[in-house]
Structure 1
Amino acid sequence: MTPEQLATTILQALTTLVDDGTLTVEGGLPAELKVERPKNPEHGDYATNVAMQLGKKAGMAPRQFAELLAARLSDDPAITAVEIAGPGFINIRVAADAQGKIAAAILEAGQQYGSSATLKGQKINLEFISANPTGPLHLGHTRWAAVGDALARVLIAAGADVTREFYVNDRGAQMEKFGASLYASAKGEPVPEDGYHGEYIHDLAKRIVAENPEILNTNDAQTAFREAGYQLQLTEQQSQLDHFRTSFDVWFSERSLHEQNGVPHAIDKLREQGHLYEADEALWMRTTDFTDDKDRVLIRTGGEPTYFASDAAYYINKRERGFDVCIYLLGADHHGYVNRLKAIAACAGDDPEHNIEILIGQLVKILKGGEEMKLSKRAGTIVTLAELVEEGGVDPLRYTLCRYPVDSPLTLDIEEMTRQVSENPVYYVQYAHARLASILRNAADLGIKLDEFEPGLLSHDREGDLLRALAEFPGVVATAAELREPHRIARYLEDTASRFHKFYDSCRVLPRGDEEVEPVHKARLTLVSATKTVLANGLDLLGVSAPERM
């Protein structure tokens, strides 16, 4: 019995009490109830505070309310005990047979176990990397690549229709500096002081000339180098992200907004909403009407659109593509963007508390040999995604970056992250999965088939503890999606791996020597298989592999 199933059982019991006149609840019964595992297992399998929530509405003390509900729940054969604690908390123990059926349900659902319809009907645009195609992706991009992709997987598992989007900043002064840097390098001249100085610029310039020897002789060679470098660098970014198991559905070009009149279109729409005005020969948006600290210029004196105009046009473009919710994942230096982006949504006639969300990620430091990594071999001033993957590996890097809330600063130690010891969280979870796979292989070698399953045999405390952990997985996924917190998946996996190891230490799964295969062995093997499924599904949500052997 999962927490959700028990919550349904409690609601049905309450409905019966209302229908037969035993209870009258002002405002009616809630659509959902919360059931949780108590921190102390001695208090029961599950607990609910529904009596504390509804007692007053029913015109009685919470404990009296709890006694009425407890009496009704005690009639359910799936429940073995109902105890009232304190002022009205209800602790519930579930029958082993009902609890054990969770294992069979997990195996039946397979890779879909953990999925739900919690966010069904929501169409979400998730933009989690915004970068110039002028150089390698760096450490900040790496954190968002891992967390953003994991968040997308979690949102999809919760039923949302998600589009992963990369915003290509391919317009403006940085692109011109990029072209000038490549052109200077190709001619053997010093790169402009305000240009790009990494070693990769010289490698890229050589490659461009090798692929097009006549490029230095073209009429506008600097523009030609800019465009050639743009395509090569964008392709390299895509390749690096693919290797990092991060994929995007849309690579959206900022340049395309301007080439397809996205800015004038957005200005027309915003003008209709009544939040634009002209002053000092410029066009402004009155964002101070919606919590921004100052009004923002859209079109400068002289007619040049600002970067803010691009932001506004991009948001409106997303909404016109049919997205209900636009989520932005931004770096630590973008705190000032929160109010202005929400103001754009409000000025466009949307609800800034629903249609747009901004998540701000804090800074990450990487330690190697006790020293902070600050410089790149190729990029000069930044640590690149490619170098981080080379140093730490895809699995350790993704898992560790996803394991912490994004609004917390993070320091990662390469040595600690890659050590194959139980203190290393990613190794601990992956090792648990490999151990589960090994048990199932040994069972197959012994000719044991999981053709019979008696769930009531899973009556040991450690078995019940593990089953209750497995039953919580769909709720954990749904909560992670609703709160936009994929780190909850990692913490759940570590807790569940710990419960598996305790179960395995206490409950013998396979027969020894000439011992006959008993139904309890098959029941425990079914639990082992279900646990393996849950760990694999959870690791997949983080984009981390689930090894069969380690």
Structure 2
Amino acid sequence: MLRVTPAVLAELVRSTAVEVLSSRGLDTGVLPAAVTVERPRNPEHGDYATNLALQIGKRLSVSPRELAGWLAEALAADPSVAGVDVAGPGFLNLRLAADAQGAIVGTVLAAGREYGRADKYAGTTINLEFVSANPTGPIHLGGTRWAAVGDALGRVLAAQGATVVREYYFNDAGAQIDRFVRSLIAAAKGEPAPEDGYAGGYITDIAAEVLRREPSALSLPEQERHETFRSIGVNLMFDEIKQSLKDFGTEFDVYFHEDSLHRSGAVTKAVETLKETGRLYESEGAWWLRSTEFGDDKDRVVIKSDGSTAYIAGDIAYYQDKRARGADLCIYMLGADHHGYIARLKAAAAAFGYEPDSVEVLIGQLVNLVSDGKPVRMSKRAGTVITLEDLVDAVGVDAARYSLIRYSVDSSVDIDLDLLRKHTNENPVFYVQYAHARVSGVLKNAQALGIELGEAADADFALLTTEREGALIRTLGDYPAVLATAAELREPHRVARYLEELAGSFHKYYDDKEGKVLPKGDAEVSQRAVPQLHLYRAVRQVLVNGLELLGVSAPERM
């Protein structure tokens, strides 16, 4: 049976073009390596469309519309093609034969969980660093967004063959840790937080736990007291952050401590290497990275005039460490206030002799919570900062993850808590999960009725001829391309939006009489029921595949 997925159709158009051009003595070298075949916006124009004739006509000194006519005549002879029309200046609109199009269902079911997956990044190790919040408090909304999006991106890249190392960088060196420790000590003494310190119930809780473990901590000499609160308090905060992320469905392969770079001498070694290669120069008593040579707007201080290291020194050593551990590509997912890091991190890569493009920096914009039409600004536990736990407590893990992933990180987003609590089609995660529950219900009832489906390869998909069936099947066929694009552009929100499109196509089919599959009463099982039920199975499979990449469950009942 022919199985005409969009990729197969694109290759059919290209191979047909090779034959047509060759038969007319025209140069086949003008053909692109991959022909673009897309779904037209207006379904009345056909199942798929291509602008190939427009792309190459002028280069062949042939009218694009005339070339399109030649291609249309040749394509129409293929048994998988029901018809081809030439439109406008040279577009080709194609309609597929029902059995060829319907066999996409068989392709989905044969591949199962692997449907949509590919090996584009096979052999590539990607270090994906995300969240990396300072260990001075619970994860705020910005970090929560990265926890969802970063985890989904890692899954999407792995689905395209990459070896993904998910990494969390603990900023446990520097002034913010000192402020955190001073805040703990103040809370332990029952004093207000320092002016530049941290407040909130979590500080009081951690301080109390430090005293429970070390009852004499406050009576220790100052330096020893500071170190006691630091070692215990920071570890307690680490443990809480890790648990929060795990409960959110986000886990990491590596938890890397910034402090280890300094203690191990990695920072000093990296700095000396750059001095030796001339990538660092001395000026005004400080050492500077020649980052302007690599696109930065100014050179960056690495060693200050007082001999202390600037923050970028750790970044340089950290990048080198990632490469030494086998990373081919380092992706950093940073907050909205980190635009300046893009050029300096690429400069650090280039300074060590690596391609600047071995560094990618994704910048995430702000997240706001809205309830009753008003911004939600106060956390019950963390004071003024809304946390991951606040969002999960309000709407649950599935809704929290899905709502954060479904938007491009380039844009700020308002999360409507009231909407996410609704069990209606207005709620996007409910809309998608409900489609899966509906499919599962029908298949369960079919099984209860004793309907034997047999192998999908033996089903007569030529019976699936209705408009809604065609739309649903073509949407299933789009999934591999959506997943490939999501990986290439680092945009997992494309998977969420696709799932909403698939759910919408399915709901329309289910609600329409043509989507009614099971017999009523003593009625006989229709001839169309078996291929229809296989179509239901394929929809369920793709919904499961896509939701898995988002880290969202696929419930069988709602």
Measured against the shorter chain, the TM-score band is: over 0.9
Give the match for residue 299 of structure 2: 295
Provide TM-score, normalisation by structure 2.
0.95
- CA offset at residue 173 of structure 1? 1.1
RMSD, matched Cα:
1.6
Give the match for residue 524 of structure 1: 532
Shift in CA distance, 374/224, structure 1 to aligned 2, threshold 3 Å = same
Structure 1, residues 357-410: CA drift from partner, whole Å, max 9, x if none?
A: 111111111112332122222211211111111012111111111111111111
User: Retained in 2: the 8 A contact 1:454–1:519?
Assistant: no
Check if 1:383 corresponds to 2:386.
Answer: yes
Check if 1:371 corresponds to 2:379.
Answer: no
* SS of equivalent residue, structure 1 residue 60: coil
Distance 1:269 1:522 in 2: 68
Distance 1:210 1:129 in 2: 30
Identical aligned residues as a percent: 53
User: Retained in 2: the 8 A contact 1:273–1:349?
Assistant: no
Of 131, 135, 139 in structure 2, the residue corresponding to residue 129 of structure 1 is 131
Check if 1:462 corresponds to 2:468.
Answer: yes
* SS of equivalent residue, structure 1 residue 328: strand
Structure 1, residues 12-61: CA drift from partner, whole Å, max 9, x if none?
A: 21233355454313x44322111101111111111011111111232312
Of 191, 194, 216 in structure 2, the residue corresponding to residue 192 of structure 1 is 194
Distance 1:21 1:319 in 2: 53
* SS of equivalent residue, structure 1 residue 163: strand
Distance 1:33 1:325 in 2: 29
Of 501, 507, 518 in structure 2, the residue corresponding to residue 510 of structure 1 is 518
User: Retained in 1: the 8 A contact 2:131–2:144?
Assistant: no
* SS of equivalent residue, structure 2 residue 132: strand
- What letter corresponds to residue 534 of structure 2 in structure 1? T
* SS of equivalent residue, structure 2 residue 415: strand
Give the match for residue 83 of structure 2: 81
Distance 1:266 1:429 in 2: 49
* SS of equivalent residue, structure 1 residue 30: coil
* SS of equivalent residue, structure 2 residue 256: strand
- CA offset at residue 295 of structure 1? 1.1
Shift in CA distance, 273/450, structure 1 to aligned 2, threshold 3 Å = farther
Distance 1:190 1:82 in 2: 76
Distance 1:29 1:365 in 2: 48
* Equivalent residues in 2 for 1:274-289, closer than 5 Å: 274-289=278-293
Distance 2:276 2:49 in 1: 53
User: Retained in 1: the 8 A contact 2:368–2:415?
Assistant: yes
Distance 1:230 1:107 in 2: 49
User: Retained in 1: the 8 A contact 2:10–2:34?
Assistant: yes
Give the match for residue 46 of structure 1: 48
Give the match for residue 245 of structure 1: 249
Give the match for residue 183 of structure 2: 181
- What letter corresponds to residue 19 of structure 2 in structure 1? T
Distance 1:212 1:448 in 2: 67
Shift in CA distance, 227/98, structure 1 to aligned 2, threshold 3 Å = same
- What letter corresponds to residue 314 of structure 1 in structure 2? Y
Give the match for residue 313 of structure 2: 309
Distance 1:494 1:339 in 2: 36
Check if 1:547 corresponds to 2:555.
Answer: yes
Query: Structure 1 unaligned runs (5+)?
Result: none
User: Retained in 2: the 8 A contact 1:134–1:229?
Assistant: no
- What letter corresponds to residue 279 of structure 1 in structure 2? S
* Equivalent residues in 2 for 1:134-283, closer than 5 Å: 134-219=136-221, 220-283=224-287
Distance 1:323 1:537 in 2: 27
Distance 1:50 1:257 in 2: 54
Shift in CA distance, 98/305, structure 1 to aligned 2, threshold 3 Å = same
Query: Structure 2 unaligned runs (5+)?
Result: none
* SS of equivalent residue, structure 1 residue 131: coil
- What letter corresponds to residue 459 of structure 1 in structure 2? T
Structure 1, residues 184-243: CA drift from partner, whole Å, max 9, x if none?
A: 322334432222222211111111221333444555021111110111110110100011
* Equivalent residues in 2 for 1:289-368, closer than 5 Å: 289-352=293-356, 354-368=357-371
Check if 1:497 corresponds to 2:503.
Answer: yes
Give the match for residue 478 of structure 2: 472
Of 94, 97, 102 in structure 1, the residue corresponding to residue 96 of structure 2 is 94
Structure 1, residues 99-157: CA drift from partner, whole Å, max 9, x if none?
A: 11111111111111111123323221111112221211111101111111111111111
- CA offset at residue 273 of structure 1? 4.3
Distance 2:509 2:358 in 1: 45
Provide TM-score, normalisation by structure 1.
0.96
Q: Number of matched residues?
A: 548
* SS of equivalent residue, structure 2 residue 130: strand
Distance 1:250 1:180 in 2: 28
- What letter corresponds to residue 96 of structure 1 in structure 2? A
User: Retained in 2: the 8 A contact 1:417–1:424?
Assistant: yes
